[in-house]
Structure 1
Amino acid sequence: MPTTPGEQSGPSESEFHSDRHVAESFGVDAERYDRTRPRYPDALVEQIVTASPGPDILDVGCGTGIAARQFHAVGSRVLGVEPDGRMAEFARRSGLTVEVATFEAWNPAGRTFDAVVSGQAWHWVDPVVGASKAARVLRPGGRLAAFWHAFQLPCDLADAFAAVYQRAVPDVPFDLQLVKRPLEAYQATFTKVADALREVGGFGDPQEWRYDWQRSYTRDEWLDQLPTLAELTQLPSNKQAQVLEDVGAVLDAIGGSFTMSYTTVAVTAARTGASGPF
């Protein structure tokens, strides 16, 4: 179920977690999602593991298992929770253990963990309910870490892509200024997560960890990923095809490749005191 809050239009004050239709639309092509969505910085994975008291990790909204496999590769024991059965089945085929449920409805059955992580997905969880449940299942000193990729297109491409969306799908919101200032666009989401952690108690002071990196895309690589973004998963096939054709033409005109700048941000806090009901 992972995605970016608001994807290209950036997050707003709307309650993402209540929009299940969008939240569970990403499994329509789980193989493409897993193939094309970017992985997380190794430094982020290593920092979460180092800051946690043990190897047991709960991955909330694990999707196809992108983050879970990265944690597994460094020796963690990972249990995934994922509401979309199609995404969960894909993750299981790679050897992961996944239970199908929303995090709010999931039954921990007395199990506890050293870390609760969520990549591109915590905005689909009720922030207060999620923080409270994380507090209940984390061992003392355990860590909650919710993280997202904020991506920034080169300015000329941002303008050109906005024109494509406005022409092909004028009803789809595309805030160009938010695309050009991605961290500002995401700050409302980060603040909401941190505020919920303070509200439920049982956590130390929330922090933001940031990792800057870049990735180069060919035309075909970007067009392969584009249908996994929230705006396009909801489009009729003819509208989606028009967007892909027009974006492809934009990329052809600049030589068929570009470099995307990413900042991966984790909102994180450690569990204080003894575990118990909240």
Structure 2
Amino acid sequence: MKDLKQILQNECYGKDLEQRKHWYSPAATAYQQVRPRYPQAIIERVVEITQLSADSALLEVGCGPAIATPDFATLGCRMLCVEPNPDFYHLAQQTCESYPNVELQNCSFEEWQLEPQRYDAVLAASSFHWISPDIGYPKAAAALRSGGHLILLWNKELQPSYEIYQQLLTVYQTHTPSLGRTYEDSATQAAILDQLGQMAIESSYFKEMQSGHIEVEVTYTIDQYLMLLSTYSPYGKLEAQQRQTLFAGLREVLEQNSTTIQLSFVSAFHIARPN
């Protein structure tokens, strides 16, 4: 397995902050529509471990278009959600209109003015890898009250079956060889997520890690699947014409099988306390 920290530095938090702020803008609406939500079993386990309630105060880091936010807002707790991308921010505003205890700020976690020891939990749903560990972990720890928790949620990339993957591989090799990467089965995805969680402990700012994961299976239409791919960073880096040609080739192969595609992914949580 490649060095995960080096990959994150090259592909995520190592990018210029202004570039990161607008990275998902071209796919913001698609992201909201087709990115999977977090399984209810994961949310329930997180709430059970952290004992979150209507009396809790949560800080959500990089809420995106508010994929996970409603799962915690329904508890009635006070939430401050910071999101640097302006398109995500506006979508999150729409999603959270019915949650009066949710406040949104259009800024990055790096720019956010620290409120020391104010929050019972700092939540990041598939977002913390976009923040430099030198900033993210110490700032999150400083924002937490005594007995608070860092909550990291993850949904790994959705994968077709290995049989379908092999059929699609020819298309990738023809049009975008750089995307014909090694297939990630559920064990590989779980191992990668475990590495992401362990980084919190290695930072020396957190301890007592609790974690869990489940494998999720979903069915997407071909249109939904191609829209989903457009929300993943490697596809966002492609030139528009190259992406269009690639997607046309993928569609042709997929439509030979069915009008839908079966996908799976690993969803996980990591919870830790500040030192």
| TM-score bracket for this pair, using the shorter chain length | 0.7 to 0.9
Distance 1:66 1:225 in 2: 14
Amino acid in the other structure paired with 1:143 = H
Q: What's the C-alpha RMSD, in Å, of the aligned pairs?
A: 2.5
Q: Is the 8 A contact 2:114 2:139 kept in 1?
A: no
Q: What is the TM-score when the length of structure 1 is the normalising length?
A: 0.83
Secondary structure at 2:124 match in 1: strand
Pick from 216, 219, 226 the counterpart of residue 223 of structure 1: 226
Q: State the partner residue of 1:3.
A: none
Query: By how many angstroms is 1:235 displaced?
Result: 1.7
Q: Is the 8 A contact 2:117 2:144 kept in 1?
A: no
Q: Is the 8 A contact 1:53 1:141 kept in 2?
A: no
Distance 1:211 1:183 in 2: 9
Query: By how many angstroms is 1:11 displaced?
Result: 5.1
Higher relative contact order (CA 8 A, sep 6+): 1
The reply on whether 1:17 has 2:13 as its aligned counterpart is: yes
Q: What is the TM-score when the length of structure 2 is the normalising length?
A: 0.84
Where structure 2 has 5 or more consecutive residues not aligned to the other structure, the ranges are none
Distance 1:271 1:186 in 2: 20
Query: By how many angstroms is 1:53 displaced?
Result: 4.8
Query: By how many angstroms is 1:124 displaced?
Result: 0.5
Q: Taking structure 1 as reference, are residues 208 and 28 closer, same or farther at Cα in structure 2, changes over 3 Å only?
A: same
Q: Taking structure 1 as reference, are residues 229 and 70 closer, same or farther at Cα in structure 2, changes over 3 Å only?
A: same
Q: Is the 8 A contact 1:178 1:185 kept in 2?
A: no
Once the two structures are superposed, what CA deviation does each residue of 1:226-258 show, in whole Å capped at 9, x if it has no partner? 211112222221111112111111211111222
Instruction: Say which is worse superposed, 135-144 or 160-169, in terms of deviation.
Output: 160-169
Secondary structure at 1:63 match in 2: coil
Where structure 1 has 5 or more consecutive residues not aligned to the other structure, the ranges are 1-8, 273-278
Give identity over the alignment, percent: 24
Secondary structure at 2:6 match in 1: coil
Pick from 46, 49, 62 the counterpart of residue 48 of structure 1: 46
Amino acid in the other structure paired with 1:256 = T
- The structure 1 segments of at least 4 consecutive aligned residues displaced by more than 6 Å after TM superposition are none
Once the two structures are superposed, what CA deviation does each residue of 1:162-188 show, in whole Å capped at 9, x if it has no partner? 332232123x34422446732334444
Once the two structures are superposed, what CA deviation does each residue of 1:28-62 show, in whole Å capped at 9, x if it has no partner? 23222101110001122222223335432111111
**Count of residue pairs brought into register by the alignment:** 259
Q: Taking structure 1 as reference, are residues 186 and 23 closer, same or farther at Cα in structure 2, changes over 3 Å only?
A: farther
Instruction: Say which is worse superposed, 114-123 or 89-98, in terms of deviation.
Output: 89-98
Distance 1:162 1:119 in 2: 30
